Structure formats: structure tokens, C-alpha cells
Amino acid sequence: KKTFQITDTYIFFLGRHVLSNLPLQMALYFNVIFAPVWTVFIVLFLIENYSSYNELYKFIIVTIIATLFVVEALRLYLGYEGNLRDRIPELAGFWMLTLFLQFPLQGISAIEPILWILISGYCALKYTATQQTIYFRNIKLGTGVKLADTENKDD
């Protein structure tokens, strides 16, 4: 016979304290509900844009998304098991999958577009700063060399 007794802090189940974390359980619950929706949208987006990617990017994005799906399913299972049954190995597995796999993979997916903007912006800024330095140094020295002349000087 299973007996439940609710107190202010704990739920007793078969004479054992159950210390499941309610905010974590709520987050896991909503994550389980929205994960299929997220999966459908990601797959539809990938199908729609797949032909516009180059071969290397196709391989990378498919690998990342497939890994995300597998890790997400395993992560949610471990989170549920660890939280509801007070099992430390499952909770530790959930936490490590979240921190070391899910977080970086989703971070790459989220910041990838802006990452290219940051890299190309840095390169453009560096090139422009170098050109402006050459131009203003030549003006200060009075050589009369213009910016276009410095580009053809290497030929």
C-alpha cells in the first residue's frame, strides 16, 4: 500500500522524503510539451533552406540538429527520472548534458548568423583602420600619396 503525507516542505512516499524541485519540474514539463513543436519547426526550416547551403554547411547543420534532437530526448528523460525519483546520477547526467552539450550546440545555432557578422565586421574595421593610418601618415609626411595610390604601390 502506497501512502502519501504532505507536509510544509516534503512529500513522504513509502516513508521516504521526496525532494523534487518544483521549478525544475515545471521547466521540464513545458520543455517536453514544446520540444515536438520546436522539432517540427527546425525540420521545416532545414528543409526550406537546405538547398541554399554549401556542402560543408549542410553537413555541419544536419550533424548539429541531429545531435540536438538525441541529446534533448536523453536530457529530458534524465531530468524527469532524476527529479521525480531523487536520483543523483540521473540529475547529474541531466545537468552535464545541459551544460556541456545542449547549451553549446544551441548557442552555436543561435549565434551563428551574428558570428559571421562579427567576424566580417572586424575584418572590415581592421582593413579600413590600416588604410586610414596609411593615408593620414602620408598626409602628415607631406608625400602627397593618396589612398588609391597606396593600393597600386605594391604592384
User: Is the model's pTM score more than 0.85?
Assistant: no
Q: What is the dihedral of CA 39, 112, 74, 22, to 10 degrees?
A: -90
Domain extent, residue 121, equals 21-152
11: how many CB neighbours lie within 10 A of its CB?
A: 13
Site of grid cell 595610390: 149
- The whole-number pLDDT of residue 104 equals 85
Measured CA to CA, the distance from residue 88 to residue 21 in angstroms comes to: 13
| 86 in a structural domain | yes
| 6 in a structural domain | no
Q: Any idea which of 11-15, 26-30, 76-80, 96-100 has the lowest mean pLDDT?
A: 11-15
What's the average model confidence in pLDDT over 146-153? 55
| 140 in a structural domain | yes
| 107 in a structural domain | yes
- Mapping DSSP to helix (H, G, I), strand (E, B) and coil, where does residue 49 land? helix
What's the average model confidence in pLDDT over 59-83? 91
- Mapping DSSP to helix (H, G, I), strand (E, B) and coil, where does residue 4 land? strand
What's the average model confidence in pLDDT over 32-60? 93
Q: Do the beta carbons of residue 24 and residue 75 sit within 8 Å?
A: no
| 14 in a structural domain | no
| pLDDT above 70 coverage of the chain, percent | 79
pLDDT at position 74 over 60 = yes
pLDDT at position 42 over 80 = yes
| 9 in a structural domain | no
| 7 in a structural domain | no
Domain count, the chain: 1
Chain mean pLDDT for the chain: 80
